[in-house]
Amino acid sequence: MKQKSKHRLRQYDLVMNIFFLFEEEYEKQPVDSIWEIKLPIERIKEYLEKRFSVTYHSNLWVYTQLRRYEEDLGVKLFERIPAKQKGSFYLSIYKDMVKFYQKQHLYVSKKIKVANGVYDKIRNDFLALPDEEKKTKKIKILLGAGSTIFHLANIIAQKSWEDNIKYSIYTHNLGSLKRLLEPTVNYDRIKVSTPSGTVDPVTYTIIGDSTNLYHNTSFDYIIMGTSYIYKGKLYVESKAETEIKNTILNYQSKAKILILTKHEFTDIPPSNPKPFGNLSDYTYIVVPRFNITTKTKKKHDLIFNEYNKTLVPEIIHWNYSILKCSR
């Protein structure tokens, strides 16, 4: 008997998988920006049917689900572009993404890959410890701001019932904080601390004096992201966040890890002229590996390749690369 196909995807799954499709198309097409991709709604429906055996008969119904998701989240994610054919239209990704809940969806498959890479490193480092040390060890991690960090927090939360690893996590990332405090998390294995300050609704971080919380703490891992890498220097849009990241880089840690999608590499000077640090300030960087080949190299890939002499491969996985920064 033939299995009955699903009637529809949940709104969250529908949105996330449309973003996955945009990433796939971006890797295939000879364009420099994902915002240049325009997909006909018919192509999106074909993709969903082929991948999930879900048939959508109405173009408008699909778009209505996307709009309802945007309304519930309170941010814009897609642009609807008219087509000549009646009842048809194109979708593109909303270009002016600045808020946390927007960026959380962008390049999501790559963010999940690098988040898994960082988690694998933390877990493997823990498993390499002597048995006696494992019994008492509590891994101290400082999680920085950014949507990629959120995906790492999500993995730690999901694995809290599986892996016998205890964490002491410090963060001013409200997305991570919220996820790590959900009722589904094993609180016996995760303790969370956060600084006081003012909440920035755009970056979804706590802006304030973090020194009192982090002072005299030696972390096993400091894990951060960035918005731009220009000539080896690291930048974010917010001047307040620049100061926080610069302060965090001065804290003591056995390993400082920078997680990237590679799209951060640019040859255009950022609007915020003050960097918070340098690529060489980190022990490791983690970048995704994509299995779709294209004849045209993206600009950010070409710029990233210029740093090959200073980045030594430590772990090459089929989903990610962990590279050690030479100083």
144 and 16 in one domain? Answer: no
Average of pLDDT values for 149-162? Answer: 96
Of 33, 40, 124, nearest to 317 (Cα)? 124
From 50, 76, 96, the end of a domain falls on: 96
Residue 4 lies in a domain: no
Percentage with pLDDT > 70 across the chain: 94
Q: Write out the DSSP string of 296-327.
A: SPPHHHHHHHTTGGGEEEEEE-SSEEEEEEP-
| Phi/psi of residue 90, nearest 5 degrees | -110, 155
Enter the tokens of residue 37.
């991709």
Q: Write out the DSSP string of 116-160.
A: HHHHHHHHHHHHTS-HHHHHH-EEEEEE-SSHHHHHHHHHHHHHT
109 and 224 in one domain? Answer: yes
Residue 209 binned pLDDT confidence (cut-offs 50, 70, 90): low
C-alpha angle 57-59-65 in degrees, rounded to nearest 5: 100
Which pLDDT does position 216 carry in this prediction?
Answer: 75
Q: SS3 of 182, please?
A: coil
pLDDT: which is higher, 326 or 159: 159
Residue 20 binned pLDDT confidence (cut-offs 50, 70, 90): very high
Indicate the DSSP class of residue 101. H
What is the bridge-based pairing of β-strands 284-288 and 320-325?
antiparallel
Q: Write out the DSSP string of 255-301.
A: EEEEE--STTB-SS--SS---SEEGGG-SEEEEE------SSPPHHH
Of 78, 66, 68, 67, nearest to 102 (Cα)? 78
Residue 165: count of CB within 10 angstroms of its CB: 19
Average of pLDDT values for 23-43? Answer: 93
Query: Which secondary-structure segment (H or E) carries 26?
Result: helix 11-28
- Report the CATH number at residue 264: 3.40.50.1360
282 and 209 in one domain? Answer: yes
Burial 62-83 (b: 16+ CB within 10 A, else e): bbebbeebbeebebbbbeeeee
Instruction: Report the mean per-residue pLDDT for the chain.
Output: 92
In this predicted model, what pLDDT tens digit does every residue of 245-298 receive, in sequence order? 999 998 999 999 999 999 999 999 999 999 999 999 999 999 999 766 666 788
144 and 282 in one domain? Answer: yes
76 and 219 in one domain? Answer: no
| Phi/psi of residue 303, nearest 5 degrees | -70, -45
CB 253 within 8 A of CB 218: yes
Decide if pLDDT at 151 tops 60.
yes
Domain count, the chain: 2
139 and 72 in one domain? Answer: no
In this predicted model, what pLDDT tens digit does every residue of 211-242 receive, in sequence order? 667 777 889 999 999 999 999 999 998 888 89
Residue 143 lies in a domain: yes
